[in-house]
Structure 1
Amino acid sequence: MRRAGKRRFAMGVRLPELLAPAGSLQALAAAVAAGADAVYTGAGAFNARAAATDLSLDELRIAAGLCHGRGARLYVTLNIFVRDDELDEAVALAADVLEAGADALIVADLGLIAELRRRLGDVEIHLSTQAGVHASDGALLATRELSVSRVTCGRELSVDEIAAMAVTGVEIEAFCHGAICVCYAGACSFSSLRRGRSANRGDCTQPCRLHYGLADGAGRRVDAREGDLLLCPRDYLSIRHIPQLVDAGVGALKIEGRMKNPDYVFNVVGCYRAALDAVRDGLPVEVDALEAQLARSFNRGFTTDYLDGSAGAGLMSWERSCNQGLRAGVVVERRYEEVVVELERSVEAGDTLEIRYIPGEEAAPDVPKRWPMVPCPVTAAAGARIAVHCKRKVSCGSVVHVVRSAGVLARTDAAVATVLDGVQDAAPPAPAARAEGMGPSCRSGSAARAGARPCADAGRTPARAVLVETPERAAALLEAGGAEILVPAFAVAETGCGAWGSLLGRLTVLLDEVSRVGDEAFQRSLCATAGAVACRNLTQVAYARDAGAAFEIASPIPVTNVASLHACADLGARRVWLPSDMAVDRVAGLARAAAGRVLVGVVSSGLPELMVTEHCLLTAEGACSGSCGGCARRRSERFLVERDGTCLPVRVDVRGRTRIYDAEPLDRSGDVAMLATAGVSCFLEADEGACAW
């Protein structure tokens, strides 16, 4: 049963729910004190922030009481992709957090959603952004087939795209502030394949915050930007778009940051609360003041590129991945062990100031940049000059930023203390018994379903499939026979459908990882003309079903347990391709469990994809021409170079999307016999010059 939260209205229109993060009780208290309508948190191992300090069940009961006592709602994230041996525990945890007072669960795994429905009944489920829904048809399918009540869209969407999803009547949750992963959510295997820790399991090593070079085929460095954080985005900012997002009909605005401190949560929630309340009251949003206040909390610099329909250089923070703070003044005089700063913004005693010294052209080449951090000794207004103790040598003209706000910290501490006063020593007791429908069955039970339709091709000899990227190779292999032929949709787009002609009707087209408004016409045409399609998100499943096309399912649709295999079969998939970063023993286990239910395929050789991003990595070489089709850089070899010299192939498609591939090819040739015995029905190899997925 859905528990109502606060309802705020703007001129008769319901405002979006303001959804805040909380990695601790203190952060949750900060969120509700600042005006959050709902709070999301983790509890246990099944959420996408493995390093977060999750709430215990006792703390969750306190949290539920705090939220509900202030008219707010509480959501718990269970948004990693779950393995078979974890399903029972995940469902049991879901039952426990619901008993503790959670109002809804945020879930990405299709199998876990199915098991929650089967074992717990009418629980409120919100589809996580990890599920990769970026267009209306996917949102509609998710609500209809998965019975989710809300869909969280990706950060990459523009305001118009978000509005197009919201107009369907599906409740859309959109991010409004915080850190950005450069890869589409749920589609990143970089950390898993290169570092052995999976982002989709909540254990990302954050490769997008590391240093890289960009090289051509001869090994020459071609990146020409100041800084080498080539995959590091700025932070998402929507404070200037709040009226548009309200008009778009967004159901909830979500602040990223379950790893952030309470002062971050308090400050950011307070700013967005002020903006929404201004819209409610018909007043202008004081965007300049609010953006400046937001910058007093941790940020990597702000970007509105995605909301504005762009993903260019303005998205990126090439030079720094740490806190940028708020520009507050400039050094105008140097003295012995101190400097004089002329303030452009107010500061408070106890603020931490960062003085950014950048050597001029006259400096020796070995003179480093210096970024000393010093305490602010006084409270002063914009226009004042203050003396600041600084032993490090910096020059006049050095810019000064506030990187830690004493005022925000003090106000947060006071607000949190007020909310938590007397609460933590009075935790409500655990319920004596489970609610109806949450009995022992929630802790065990097979994912198999009675009456499951058998797979028509079960038991046949495993097939060989080859992934090609040119019509010439496709024609040659079709003539030779003995293999199914797959072609990536981006390769078809590169040459145009005309170059493939009637071949498409004999091929399986591997659709792109992403389906946005601009992708719809092309992807629908492929569903209508290809022999079959491999769908990589729920939106494409909707397109394939509309066209009556035979379809398969491949990552980044998450398939990591038997229940998710069955969910794919229920959607109508004839085959499921398991992820390339899945361990061989788990592949074998899923293949055995899928026997007679749905066909299972695996990639046996080829360079696996690490990530796909809307940002064109080639902008690191200089200004973009704006013409992807004719871009000379795009048609030349490019490699992302890690610090140890490892070269990762980079491909940019005709739409400007970047795909980065692993340096070493996947090779499961030694496991083919065992996997075939286990029930894998098809083994795919990438043709020479083609990459896998």
Structure 2
Amino acid sequence: MNMNRPLPELLAPAGSIDALLAAVAAGADAVYCGLGAFNARASAKDIEPVEFARAVRLAHAHGVRVYVTCNVYLREHELVPALDLVREADAAGADAFIVADVAQVRAIQRAIPHAEIHLSTQTGVMSPAGVEYVREHLGVERITVSRELSLPEIANVCSVGMPIEVFCHGAICICYSGACAASALRRGRSANRGDCTQPCRFTYDLQDGKGNSVNVQEGERLLCPRDYCSIDHVRELVEAGVSALKIEGRMKNPDYVFNVVGAYRRALDAVGAGSWDSDVAAACKRKLGMSFNRGFTDAYLRGASGAELMSFERACNQGLCVGELVERRYEEVSVRLCAAVRAGDMLEIRSTPGPDAPADVPKRWPQVPCPVDAKAGEVIDVHCKRKVEVGSIVNRISSVEVLERTDAALARMRTELESYSSDYVPAHVGRCVSEPLGLSVEPAVPTARGACLSVAVDTPVRAAALLHDVRVDEVAVRQMALDEDADAWEDLLPRLTVMLDEPSRMIDEARTRYLCRRARKVICRNYAHMQMAKEADVPFDVAAPLSATNGQSAAWFGRRGASCVWLPDELSLDEAREAVCRATREEVRVGMLVCGYPQLMVTEHCLLTAEGPCPHSCVACERRRQERYLVEASGARLPVRVDAHGRTRTFDACMLNRTEDVDTLLRFGTGGFAIDAMLLGADELECAIGTLAAACAAASEA
């Protein structure tokens, strides 16, 4: 039976010119690429502007659209050059731009009114309320929603009637996109700037408060998820009404792009023709297994996020099983095949010691070339110097067939590319873009003024005490703390500012709406929160992951009603100064965290599943009430808190303390200072409040 809905666009990654050519050859409907700057894959080869113009012409000749990623959060001095890049790409024929920073969205709309803008997944839209707010206030043409959504949630978001793009395949960031500060704060390279050091792929231990390991998993990659694979759910995604299926992978090789795009092209065509069945799905999945993968998971689509999501042992390519080791000899093994192989395929023997093996016998993962072509059911002999165990699974991690097919396709496409001219002139030459947009980057003249002192607490006792402390202007509480014992906080709510949770999904909506009605003020972390705050007519602030990393973004949030815009913790003092100076010109109050342990990431996955099977009762879970630390290889201990919904928040091992910089921050116009007391001792909190209160009082008197 043919589908009633139109097939979604198949959107492929193009981290290089060859990857773009591979995607076009394999049947992509659209590709997305970076142009060397201001995109969320700083290490990608990207495409040079001159070559980009030719590539666009080739893509358009094949009916393929080309999108340019501009999906990082910009600093003040980057707004004009980022717009210049968009102008160049637009002149070269780009069809749309994938953007995260609200200041850049508005700048593009003013400077290039015809430009099509897609809102990046970095913005964290994941519910109908978020879609409605974006549609009304940002006016973009498409939204890429979070990977964590289940199939019912995706259908619910699509029902709003705005074009929705979902990821269908590839690597998963364990943290909600746009909410990760781990790489920036721990290693000085920002994920929100496209320069992630991939801390989720590192080794960790999970320890209790006494330093004892509580990890019972085979492996130490406690933050490493498997790769997203939706091939078994393609028909359901079509039925949900998605507008585009997006393949992750701008860091992947052309053979990966060619093979993965080909698999999803076959799947979508089968759905459209009414010939989709389990056999086609299995064939597509086998094809996907011939390219790089960390093992596949569809857990999020099924509404799960436990241990089945994770690849605890390894963060590298795991391939797909093609056989089992049946005999071991001196420097040679015999493998019985369950799938066909080609001479030159790279095989990996996953050798795990048996239950009777001595404790010091290690696991081994030797990689060996396949010597012959052979079919399923045959036994082949393979040279292998390392000692491996009979019964070991043998995986193929590289396919000669895929490489050959890719090379042949690229040869054809490169020849075609050469036929297109490159008469390209940068669009911004001789053009002043700052004046008509009002994008001045000159610093404002700083002025000293008083600032609001806000203290975030984690217990009702602390909250009640601070509400009577005349030095504190505002007492705030994280929603995760409220949800631990809602009754104990209920009478205090009308006097508190509630910092809402970063995710805002279907399951969160009722609670969020209630808090908007009851709280003195809320701090919005998601566009959905802004929609609900507007409907409840409650005062609100804005904080990351609604990230304002420049003054124009802060000003936009201020014009939408935010009483204070809190800057992300990863900004340096110089970067914060640029943002604050511009925002104060717009009469927008901007605040900063000056004392506390910054949050590194929030994950839907419960890290405590590393301790054993999940009891599936988050509220009653005893593990959550015990002290836990994620321990880096360096020995640094990162505090872990799991909330009543099973979401994990990981905090920095080092306290951020900018109390000595308060005078400087006041001079360039900072209007709010926050202390996060959740992990602070009583003496630390009292010292921070005293220092800040004195500095603010002195500034007010001056």
- Same-fold status (TM-score > 0.5): yes
What secondary structure sits across from 1:494 in the alignment?
coil
Give yes or no for the alignment of 1:13 onto 2:5.
yes
Give yes or no for the alignment of 1:330 onto 2:324.
yes
For residues 11 and 626 of structure 1, the distance between their equivalents in structure 2, rounded to whole angstroms, comes to 37
Q: Report the residue type matching 2:639 in the other structure.
A: P
Q: CA deviation at 1:378?
A: 1.4
**Structure 1 residues 86 and 10: CA distance shift in structure 2, 3 A:** farther
The residue that corresponds to 1:6 in the other structure is: none
Give yes or no for the alignment of 1:481 onto 2:473.
no
What secondary structure sits across from 1:31 in the alignment?
helix
Q: Is the 8 A contact 1:465 1:683 kept in 2?
A: yes
For residues 93 and 409 of structure 1, the distance between their equivalents in structure 2, rounded to whole angstroms, comes to 34
The residue that corresponds to 1:371 in the other structure is: 365
Q: Is the 8 A contact 1:447 1:563 kept in 2?
A: no
Q: CA deviation at 1:467?
A: 0.6
What secondary structure sits across from 1:367 in the alignment?
coil
For residues 615 and 154 of structure 1, the distance between their equivalents in structure 2, rounded to whole angstroms, comes to 14
Q: CA deviation at 1:399?
A: 1.2
Alignment of 1:447-596 (within 5 A): 447=438, 461-483=450-472, 484-496=474-486, 498-595=487-584, 596=586
Equivalent of residue 56 in structure 2, options 37, 42, 64: 64
Give yes or no for the alignment of 1:216 onto 2:205.
no
**Structure 1 residues 620 and 124: CA distance shift in structure 2, 3 A:** same
Q: Report the residue type matching 1:607 in the other structure.
A: Y
Q: Report the residue type matching 1:569 in the other structure.
A: G
The residue that corresponds to 2:312 in the other structure is: 318
Q: How many pairs are equivalent?
A: 672
Alignment of 1:137-216 (within 5 A): 137-216=129-208
Q: 1:155-205 CA deviation, whole Å, 9 max, x = no partner? A: 000011111111111100000000000000000000000001000011000
Q: Report the residue type matching 2:40 in the other structure.
A: A
Give yes or no for the alignment of 1:653 onto 2:647.
no
Q: CA deviation at 1:391?
A: 1.9
Equivalent of residue 601 in structure 1, options 591, 602, 621: 591
For residues 10 and 412 of structure 1, the distance between their equivalents in structure 2, rounded to whole angstroms, comes to 31
The residue that corresponds to 2:628 in the other structure is: 638
Give yes or no for the alignment of 1:423 onto 2:450.
no
Give yes or no for the alignment of 1:266 onto 2:263.
no
What secondary structure sits across from 2:396 in the alignment?
strand
| TM-score, scaled relative to structure 2 | 0.93
CA RMSD of aligned residues (A): 1.8
Give yes or no for the alignment of 1:254 onto 2:246.
yes
Equivalent of residue 226 in structure 2, options 224, 234, 247: 234
Q: Report the residue type matching 2:475 in the other structure.
A: I
For residues 679 and 632 of structure 2, the distance between their equivalents in structure 1, rounded to whole angstroms, comes to 22
Q: Report the residue type matching 2:616 in the other structure.
A: G
Q: CA deviation at 1:447?
A: 4.4
**Structure 1 residues 688 and 308: CA distance shift in structure 2, 3 A:** closer
Q: CA deviation at 1:334?
A: 2.1
**Structure 1 residues 576 and 10: CA distance shift in structure 2, 3 A:** farther
Q: Is the 8 A contact 1:638 1:650 kept in 2?
A: yes
Q: 1:517-547 CA deviation, whole Å, 9 max, x = no partner? A: 0000001111111111000111111110111
Q: Report the residue type matching 2:653 in the other structure.
A: A
Instruction: Indicate the larger mover: 225-234 or 361-370.
Output: 361-370
Equivalent of residue 675 in structure 1, options 659, 665, 672: 665
For residues 542 and 135 of structure 1, the distance between their equivalents in structure 2, rounded to whole angstroms, comes to 11
Give yes or no for the alignment of 1:23 onto 2:12.
no
Q: 1:205-236 CA deviation, whole Å, 9 max, x = no partner? A: 00000000000011110010000000000000
Give yes or no for the alignment of 1:442 onto 2:418.
no
Q: Report the residue type matching 2:479 in the other structure.
A: A
Q: Report the residue type matching 1:485 in the other structure.
A: V
Q: Is the 8 A contact 2:87 2:427 kept in 1?
A: no
Q: Is the 8 A contact 1:120 1:442 kept in 2?
A: no
**Structure 1 residues 442 and 135: CA distance shift in structure 2, 3 A:** same
For residues 58 and 132 of structure 2, the distance between their equivalents in structure 1, rounded to whole angstroms, comes to 33
Q: Is the 8 A contact 1:88 1:444 kept in 2?
A: no
Unaligned runs of 5+ residues in structure 2 are: 441-446, 686-702
The residue that corresponds to 1:341 in the other structure is: 335
Instruction: Indicate the larger mover: 554-563 or 388-397.
Output: 388-397
Q: Is the 8 A contact 1:114 1:567 kept in 2?
A: no
The residue that corresponds to 1:244 in the other structure is: 236
Q: Is the 8 A contact 1:115 1:563 kept in 2?
A: no
Q: Report the residue type matching 1:98 in the other structure.
A: D
Give yes or no for the alignment of 1:362 onto 2:356.
yes
For residues 477 and 79 of structure 1, the distance between their equivalents in structure 2, rounded to whole angstroms, comes to 40
For residues 683 and 604 of structure 1, the distance between their equivalents in structure 2, rounded to whole angstroms, comes to 6
Q: 1:134-161 CA deviation, whole Å, 9 max, x = no partner? A: 1111112112211110000010000111
For residues 241 and 348 of structure 2, the distance between their equivalents in structure 1, rounded to whole angstroms, comes to 40
The residue that corresponds to 2:394 in the other structure is: 400
Q: CA deviation at 1:332?
A: 1.0
The residue that corresponds to 1:96 in the other structure is: 88
Q: Is the 8 A contact 2:36 2:45 kept in 1?
A: no
Q: CA deviation at 1:425?
A: 6.2
Q: CA deviation at 1:481?
A: 2.8
What secondary structure sits across from 1:423 in the alignment?
helix
Q: CA deviation at 1:356?
A: 1.6
For residues 635 and 422 of structure 1, the distance between their equivalents in structure 2, rounded to whole angstroms, comes to 62
**Structure 1 residues 432 and 296: CA distance shift in structure 2, 3 A:** closer
Q: CA deviation at 1:594?
A: 1.8
Q: CA deviation at 1:433?
A: 6.5
Q: 1:4-49 CA deviation, whole Å, 9 max, x = no partner? A: xxxxx95342101000001111111111111100000000210000
Q: 1:383-405 CA deviation, whole Å, 9 max, x = no partner? A: 11111122222222111110000
Q: CA deviation at 1:428?
A: 2.6
Q: CA deviation at 1:472?
A: 1.8
Q: CA deviation at 1:367?
A: 2.3
The residue that corresponds to 2:692 in the other structure is: none
For residues 298 and 229 of structure 1, the distance between their equivalents in structure 2, rounded to whole angstroms, comes to 18
Q: Is the 8 A contact 2:551 2:581 kept in 1?
A: no
Give yes or no for the alignment of 1:387 onto 2:381.
yes
**Structure 1 residues 316 and 433: CA distance shift in structure 2, 3 A:** closer
**Structure 1 residues 572 and 459: CA distance shift in structure 2, 3 A:** farther
Q: CA deviation at 1:420?
A: 1.9
State percent identity of aligned pairs. Answer: 52
What secondary structure sits across from 2:646 in the alignment?
coil
The residue that corresponds to 2:273 in the other structure is: 281
Q: Is the 8 A contact 1:467 1:690 kept in 2?
A: no
**Structure 1 residues 433 and 394: CA distance shift in structure 2, 3 A:** closer
Give yes or no for the alignment of 1:302 onto 2:296.
yes
The residue that corresponds to 1:353 in the other structure is: 347
Q: Is the 8 A contact 1:95 1:442 kept in 2?
A: no
Q: CA deviation at 1:502?
A: 3.3
For residues 544 and 675 of structure 2, the distance between their equivalents in structure 1, rounded to whole angstroms, comes to 16
Unaligned runs of 5+ residues in structure 1 are: 1-8, 450-457
For residues 68 and 613 of structure 1, the distance between their equivalents in structure 2, rounded to whole angstroms, comes to 39
Q: CA deviation at 1:426?
A: 4.0
**Structure 1 residues 439 and 539: CA distance shift in structure 2, 3 A:** farther
